[in-house]
Amino acid sequence: MPPEPIPQTLETTYREAVREAIRDAMRRDPSVFLMGEDVGRYGGCYAVSKGLIAEFGPERIRDAPLSESGFTGAGIGAAMAGMRPIVELMTVNFSLLALDQILNTAATVRHMSGNQFGAPLVIRMATGAGRQLAAQHSHSLEGWYAHIPGIRVLAPATLEDARGMLWTALQEPDPVLIFENVMLYNMAGQLAAGAGAVDIERAAVRRQGRDLTLITYGGSLWKALDAAQALAADGIEADVIDLRTLRPLDDATIMASVRRTRRAVIVDEGWRSGSISAEIGMRIVEQAFWELDAPVGRVCSAEAPIPYARHLEMAALPQVPAIVRAAKATLGPT
């Protein structure tokens, strides 16, 4: 009897890839546990942790009360005491209730203790708009967190990164925040059967082109790739950079591309003012000014609370036509 062929890739979704990453970490390291609102019996508000409580029990898949500050602080304390917690916050909007714990405790404890303590925990949260959840559930504040020294900020945009970033993040001695764009959870695709940990240092060039550099991350990556496809139809070839890590930024990859193409457009679902896109644009000006052939462009969300109405919500977010327009504006008068 011929042996069963081993599948090279598996059909999966971003949600399942994150779940598989949690399951894998829990199996490999008994000090890892998941804690958050509705992560246990309900299976997570985005169903990421569905089924995990049956496999690992309520000790390791812990439902927390509706107190972000409380359970995030508990996670930080557990991390300082030797555990490797994964704290799930429902959305970045609610993470503001835990901001004091994240900024004043997790990000500073190593500094304040003279390197005696660290807080090696991972805090995962959903970010972004597009699901008609209105202004209090739809913002993209990862750029704020990228402002803070002492933490690392990740934004997985692909199945590989959704599957692979968590384990690497858990090996970090300091807090790591992982931002999962809500529009990606249902994204389906092929993932290598043996997919595992990935690096969290470098940005990735997801498409190569000579004419300009599109710089983006998270949910906007796919819009940037669609825009690059549309531009290619007009003979314009774009490099598309997936930042992957928002802090620390991989300046080398960004500058290498911009020095070659001499043009950059940053696509960021955050608001324009004081954003990660502003930071990237400034770094380009600092490090590659004399290589530029055009002003650095940006496509960001409208400077307004994200609307509930679908057509308004779509209009407020970076979309493919706006990216195409911004890209062409860097190329000349036509």
Partner 1 sequence: MPSLGADMEAGTLVEWLVKPGDQVHRGDVVAVVETQKGAIEIEIFESGTVEEILVPLDERVPVGTPLARLRLEGEGAEPAPRPPPSSPEATAALGAAPEGGEPKPFLPLARPGPAAPAEAELRPAAERILASPAARRIASERGLDLAALTGSGPGGAVISPDLDRAPAEEPRVAGPRARPGLDLDAMRSAIAGAMARSKREIPHYYLQHTVDMATALDWLAEANAGRTPERRLLAGALFIKAVALAARRFPALNGFFGTKNFEPSRAVHVGVAIAIRGGGLAAPALHDADRLSLGELMDGMRDLVQRTRAGRMRSSEIADATITVSSLGERGVEALYGVIYPPQVAIVGFGKIVQRPWVIDGAVGPRPVVTATLGADHRVSDGHAGALFLAHIDKLLQEPERL
**Shortest gap between Cβ of 159 and partner 1 (angstroms)?**
37
> What is residue 189's three-state secondary structure?
strand
**Shortest gap between Cβ of 291 and partner 1 (angstroms)?**
5
Q: Among 262, 272, 319, 322, which residue sits at the site for partner 1 (rule: CB under 8 A)?
A: 262
Q: What share of the chain is helix, strand, coil (3-state, %, to 5)?
A: 40, 20, 40
Q: Among 292, 302, 319, 322, which residue sits at the site for partner 1 (rule: CB under 8 A)?
A: 292
Q: Among 29, 100, 250, 291, which residue sits at the site for partner 1 (rule: CB under 8 A)?
A: 291
- The DSSP 8-state label assigned to residue 102 in this structure reads I
CA dist., res. 232 & res. 260, Å (int): 18
Q: Among 11, 201, 234, 293, which residue sits at the site for partner 1 (rule: CB under 8 A)?
A: 293
Determine which one of 16, 20, 37, 68 is catalytic.
68
In 305-321, which positions are buried (b, 16+ CB within 10 angstroms) versus exposed (e)? ebbeeeeebeebbbbbe
Q: Answer yes or no: 142 catalytic.
A: no
Site track 222-261 with partner 1 (rule: CB under 8 A), x = hit: ----------------------------------------
CA dist., res. 45 & res. 182, Å (int): 11
Q: Answer yes or no: 11 catalytic.
A: no
**Shortest gap between Cβ of 107 and partner 1 (angstroms)?**
36
294 binds partner 1 (CB under 8 A): yes
CA dist., res. 213 & res. 33, Å (int): 40
Q: Among 114, 235, 273, 290, which residue sits at the site for partner 1 (rule: CB under 8 A)?
A: 290
174 binds partner 1 (CB under 8 A): no
Please give the full DSSP string across 257-282, using - where no structure is assigned: HHHHH--EEEEEEEESTT-HHHHHHH
Q: How many CB atoms lie within 10 A of CB 114?
A: 7
**Shortest gap between Cβ of 257 and partner 1 (angstroms)?**
14
What are the residues binding partner 1 (CB under 8 A)?
Answer: 262, 289-295, 329-333
